[in-house]
Structure 1
Amino acid sequence: MTQTRIHAMPDGREIAYRFTPGQGPALVFLPGYMSDMAGGKATAVFEMAQATGVACLLLDYSGCGESGGDFADGSLTRWKEEILALIEALSIKGAVLIGSSMGGWLMLLAGLALGDKLKGLIGIAPAPDFTEWGIPQMDKALLADGETIYEDNPYGPEPTPTHPGFWAEGQANLLLEGEIALDCPVRLLHGQRDPDVPWDISLQLAEKLRSADVQVTLIKDGDHRLSRDSDIALLLRTVAEMILPRGTAEA
């Protein structure tokens, strides 16, 4: 098992990550909201990368998992900075970003910043713009007034918070309102029984991406997490199809 390491950001943030070197492009797994690199999908991708000699990076955003910091301070821009800083620090020259749920929003924002380093995107129930479509108008009013809102969490005992700073920053980073200027291959996987992110969000995203090489796979009985053995097998096949033909490309 590759050990967890710490990357220190210029402002003192300590970001936990795991990295296995190899041929490229490197796989970079971006977890969802309040999730971390210990999840089943991230672990499966990392183990596949190790088995096939492909470079792979897992990370915990600040305030999540093994990283330092307070989750209440988290924002898309802050977490994007951490992703980009690790890619730079590890001298990754080409990356395929794999984003789960909120990580699917972050993969787009980080991808736009990576330029030619971006070699592909794989979204798992991607949730761009969820601060817009995923929050009732009444709650938006509370957030705009500086209040934190809490929702029932089907995945754990504690309610899920949305902090006003995260919400406001999300509203400043909406992407589905216009063209998303990315031209790399994109694969989107989405369960049609997803109670958290409507599957038509993936269809909207496919339409807004400038790339002509975009494919959406709908899993009729799939839920939001897509973490069953069959779902993970589909994810790994999708990853393999994107990277293995170019396995000798620049890392």
Structure 2
Amino acid sequence: MTDIPMPDPAPLAYFDPGDGRKIAYRARARHPEVTGPTLLFLPGYASDMEGTKAVEIDRFAAAAGLSYVRFDYSGTGSSGGDFADGTLDRWLDEILSIIDLLIDGKVILVGSSMGGWLALHAALNRPDRVAAVVGIAAAPDFTDWGYTPEQRQSLVDTARFETPDPTGGPPRVTHARFVASGTALRILHSPIAIDCPVRLIHGDKDEEVPVGVPFKLLDSIHSGDVQLTLIKWGTHRLSEPHEIEAILRTIAVLAERLS
């Protein structure tokens, strides 16, 4: 990984899914001699396409000649809109619009945390387009189990709560409508009718997404080709060099197999 020079980033571009939203993305073209699905990276909650994992996958895709798209949900990063308007169904609609409007052929979805949850829904909505799913510390249904009693009480009292930003920025605000959208998109309470390959990568010291969550996914997804990689001492970020290496190795094997 560290021996591969950082390529120039694909130019920042924007697209409108049909209702005036300004969604920022970077699309790296496939090398003419390379075949296979396009990689599509789905960020986590309040994250964007310039994070460590998104950029390292870009480095890998450039070296492998693979097509790669990364983007920012509306209200985050370089995209237009207000973060307060963000809901899971709104952001899922943006993912599906990218698949439909910006990508030709098959797609490997690589979803981080909340992006892993949305990747599962995208696979359910586009079974003919999604060739595989990679969930990095995937957090399905985190609006059910991911909040403290104090945060839930704040949602009742004020329809919102704040959490500190780990990077030192302004506090992150979670709104009641986002939580309601999560309730509508719960996925762990019933069998998940996904038949494509699914790869789950999780840290055994993840304090944000309990390790029982990927095991529940392993049991719930219909596909017989589901694998869980558990990384010792791995936290929720999974951004250490050996953790990034495990992620890239997983993507490389899938891309080669599906080319």
The bucket for the TM-score relative to the shorter chain is over 0.9
> Is residue 56 from structure 1 mapped to residue 64 from structure 2 by the alignment?
no
- Which position in structure 2 is the counterpart of 1:9? 17
Match of 1:90 among 102, 112, 121: 102
Partner in structure 2 of residue 229 of structure 1: 241
Superposed, 1:25-64 pairs within 5 Å as 25-64=37-76
Does the 8 Å contact 1:144/1:168 carry over to 2?
no
- Cα deviation, 1:198-218, whole Å, max 9, x if unaligned, reads 111111111110111111111
Matched, 1:242 2:254: yes
The residue matched to 1:97 in structure 2 has which SS? strand
CA distance in 2, matches of 1:101, 1:53: 26
The residue number in structure 2 matching 1:194 is 206
Q: Does 1:184 align with 2:196?
A: yes
Question: Aligned letter for 1:72?
Answer: A
**Change beyond 3 A, Cα 1:146–1:92:** farther
- Answering whether residue 120 of structure 2 is matched by residue 108 of structure 1, we say yes
| Structure 1 residues 29 and 4: alpha-carbon distance in aligned structure 2, compared to 1, 3 A threshold | same
Structure 1 residue ranges, 4+ long, deviating more than 4 angstroms after superposition: none
Shift of 1:138: 4.9
**Selected match of 1:21 from 26, 29, 41:** 29
Q: CA deviation at 1:58?
A: 0.3
- TM-score, normalised relative to structure 2: 0.91
* Partner residue, 2:224: 212
Q: Which residue of 1 aligns with 2:5?
A: none
Structure 2 distance, partners of 1:12, 1:124, is 31
CA distance in 2, matches of 1:162, 1:117: 32
Match for residue 77 of structure 1? 89
1:124 aligns with 2:132: no
Matched residue type, 1:15: I
Deviations 1:137-177 (A, max 9, x none): 45335425651111233343432221111011111110000
Secondary structure (helix, strand or coil) at the match of 1:116 reads coil
Query: Equivalents in 2 of 1:46, 1:139: separation in Å?
Result: 36
Q: Secondary structure at the match of 1:13?
A: coil
Higher relative contact order (CA 8 A, sep 6+): 1
- 1:152 maps to 164
User: What amino acid is the match of 2:96?
Assistant: L
- Separation in 1, partners of 2:192, 2:91: 20
Q: CA deviation at 1:109?
A: 1.1
C-alpha distance in 1, partners of 2:209/2:167?
15
Contact 1:24/1:94 (8 A) holds in 2: yes
Give the Cα–Cα distance (whole angstroms) in 1 for the partners of residues 255 and 156 of structure 2. Answer: 43
State how far apart, in whole Å, the 1-side matches of 2:221 and 2:128 are.
16
Work out the CA distance in 2 between the residues paired with 1:153 and 1:5.
Answer: 27
Q: What's the TM-score, normalizing by structure 1?
A: 0.94
- Letter matched to residue 147 of structure 1: A
**Identical pairs, percent:** 45
CA contact (8 A) 2:36 2:256 kept: no
The answer to whether the 8 Å contact 1:64/1:71 transfers is yes
Q: CA deviation at 1:56?
A: 0.9
Structure 1 residue runs without a partner (length 5+): none
CA distance in 2, matches of 1:49, 1:33: 23
Unaligned runs of 5+ in 2: 1-7
